[in-house]
Structure 1
Amino acid sequence: MPTATPSAANPATAHWLSASQLPAPPSAQQCDWLFDQGSLTRRLTELADEQFSVLPLLEGWQALRSDECLALKVPEGSQGWVREVYLRGHGQPWVFARSVAARSALEGSGLDLAHLGNRSLGELLFSDQAFVRGPLQACHYPAAWLPSAVRSEQLWARRSGFSRGALALLVVEVFLPSLWQHVAGRATLNP
């Protein structure tokens, strides 16, 4: 698996907003997924009839993006552990997920993100009751930040922070068209 490497500054920006702040809210169905407080891993596993998997794409230390530094309350340009994966149903990428933690908080925390492999970070976060989840926010995720295989404009994404003492993790989940197609197909079968 490739490791993350520092990249040139990316001019793309994301405008993360709460559900009540969104100027043009998504459909009711999309809102249900974007602002659901439960475990996305569990929900996807159920939707995929237990045929859920995680495909790691990239992980390693790199400079965090400006919006990530702001959310994690660390100085601009701070180093962090970055993990990007596809959350898949029936072998299809349904969600692109990017999780980050500042190096300063992660080292010495006892959390070893480097060895998650094809396990879901969400499963770990929801099984450890010491983690507290912050508010959910949503935006149209910048296409430039997506892997080329799923790059598309105007995809809805959500993010939330998870904290345990001094450790803070930021988890972003981008909902891909293949998920919405499966959800729509499931709704047609089960009206």
Structure 2
Amino acid sequence: MTTEFYPTPAFPVSEALQWSPPQQFELTAEQADWLLYEGSLTQRLKEVGGNFSVKLLGQQVLEPTPEEKQRLNLNCNVVVREVLLYCDKQPWVFARSLFSPSAEQASTLNLQQLGNQSLGESLFARSDLHCGDIEVAVVGGEHPVAQLNQRWFQKSHTLLGRRRMFSTAGEQLLVSEIFLEPSSLYSASETFRRNKRS
């Protein structure tokens, strides 16, 4: 079982983050290669290593953060879906997706039945998918996902995440992904700063 060494955290995990355009950060080539990747992250993880899998942490209607509510332009609760993406039996990415209850009910999107399947793989299979601009966030050590990373991998440092809006079938989905310790973003450098010109 993929959860044998990585106990499932209580849902929901994530908290608010400050998202900014990637130009405001000084990223290494490796970090930019992953954070600014335009294609399906699921497909890329499958290419990196075998035994790709998804662990559903939870999916239910909850109140989003004020910033998420503004970003989605919704004044109601939304469906929050949080998962871990595993590569070679280690969690590489924590992902948080938000969408309206109407999107969850839409039979064409099949969001209710996803379970331990990849949302990204489902989205990128759609011909009408529109991908928004990528945003980047630094995840400080006090953030629940960073604390989870420290507990699992005994590494205490800030993490990097990315986010973008997807539009399909008349619905919008806000998807954020935080890269965990096993990913290659942190192998060369653990330093990422805001660009002084921003």
Structure 1 match to 2:194? none
Residues 145, 169 of structure 1: alpha-carbon distance in 2 compared, 3 angstrom cutoff? farther
- Compute the TM-score of the two structures, normalised by the length of structure 2: 0.77
Distance 1:183 1:39 in 2: 22
- Compute the TM-score of the two structures, normalised by the length of structure 1: 0.79
Q: Which protein, 1 or 2, shows the higher relative CO under an 8 Å CA cutoff with sep ≥ 6?
A: 2
1:60·1:114 contact (CA, 8 Å) conserved in 2?
Answer: no
Residues 97, 108 of structure 1: alpha-carbon distance in 2 compared, 3 angstrom cutoff? closer
Residue identity matched to 1:146: V
Residue identity matched to 1:170: L
Structure 2 match to 1:86? 84
Structure 2 match to 1:149? 148
Distance 2:163 2:181 in 1: 18
Structure 2 match to 1:40? 41
| Alignment partner of 1:160 is 2:164 | yes
SS at match of 2:184: helix
Instruction: Trace 1:1-191 onto structure 2 (pairs within 5 A).
Output: 13-20=16-23, 22=24, 24-48=25-49, 50-75=50-75, 78-103=76-101, 105-106=102-103, 109-110=106-107, 111-141=109-139, 143-146=142-145, 149-150=148-149, 154-180=158-184
Structure 1 unaligned regions, length at least 5: 185-191
Distance 2:56 2:28 in 1: 30
RMSD of aligned C-alpha atoms?
Answer: 2.7
2:95·2:178 contact (CA, 8 Å) conserved in 1?
Answer: yes
Shift of 1:144: 2.8
Question: Which aligned segments of 4 or more residues in structure 1 are displaced greater than 4 angstroms?
Answer: 1-5, 181-184
Shift of 1:154: 2.0
Distance 1:47 1:27 in 2: 19
Point out the structure with the larger helix share. 1
1:133-177 deviation line (CA, Å, top 9, x unaligned): 111110113543428532565210000111125310011000111
Count of aligned residue pairs for this structure pair: 174
1:4·1:62 contact (CA, 8 Å) conserved in 2?
Answer: no
